[in-house]
Structure 1
Amino acid sequence: MKRTRAFAIAISAVAAIALAGCSNGQEAGNAPAPQAPASQEQAAHNAADVTFAQGMIPHHQQAIEMSKLVPERSQSQQVKDLAKQIEAAQGPEIQTLTGWLRDWGAEAPSTDHASMGHDMGDMGGDHGGMGGMMSADEMKQLEQAKGAEFDRMFLDLMIKHHEGAVTMAQAELSGGQFPAAKQMAQQIIDTQQAEIDTMRTLLSQS
């Protein structure tokens, strides 16, 4: 009898613990679910981040359009290699920037060349904070050049273009909030400043 009674007490204790666990689980279930880290990160952005993304998309797109002119017009293998490098780096960045804007509920500039056309050049100068953008006339002149003339013009214009991107990236570092955007900004500064140095060297050799 004592053994039977002890067993019954043990069973009751286990049942009580299980009920308590269920009760606590139900209470926890009624509490608001914590946000996933990714969701918190998506919310941690400000106006500077949006400006950076919206400005850098067309800026990158123009650099890609410039680079696409290189294979048929350049006579320098170094310039051709540089153009490939620019396309390889900036294409994926455009996709990432577009995704951020979509997540933030902000408008993303079109990257369709047919819709943007060469009017992209009209955003030259400091319009919208996008320094270094080529004008429509400059784009036309670049399209018409070939050989050594093309290479010199491409390098000169791309240096200015890169300098504009570096300035935009520095503004993001100082005023932005979104961690991944600030990381991209630093990457743009590092990469494009190195390319600027390379292009200046190539110009000095031409």
Structure 2
Amino acid sequence: MTRPEEIELRIVPVLATLALLATPALAQQAGHQGMNHQGMDHSKMMQPTAANPYGPAEMDMHQKMMAAKGADAGETWIRKMIEHHRGAVAMSQIALRSSQNAEVRGEAQKAITSQNREIATLNAMLRKMGKPAQ
């Protein structure tokens, strides 16, 4: 039988390690929750530039993913993934317009095709579940 002091000797280092690992994440979360987001214009942080024209598309995708909800975890996942794939399409369309690199443009076109295929598959799953497509 293990004595209580032996258990304590085993548990304390584990708890100390967990506390050290969790502290940065907890501090970051606490700091973010304590921030006043009223009056912040996130769109200014996402202004497109020649080197990074994707900000508005990323923000749109993020907002739509956060808003996507279903009746259960499976439906919610499908709806969030549809918005994720739509975001990839939007970013790929920007790459087609903005990049002169033939290889980038080719991959962007392939991404548009594959992401649209994924969106169709996910919408078919919703319809099969008796849910409206999005």
Q: Please, what TM-score do these two structures have when normalized by structure 2?
A: 0.49
Task: Give 1 or 2 for the bigger CA radius of gyration.
Answer: 1
The structure showing larger relative contact order (alpha-carbon pairs under 8 Å, at least 6 residues apart) is: 1
Q: Please, what TM-score do these two structures have when normalized by structure 1?
A: 0.33
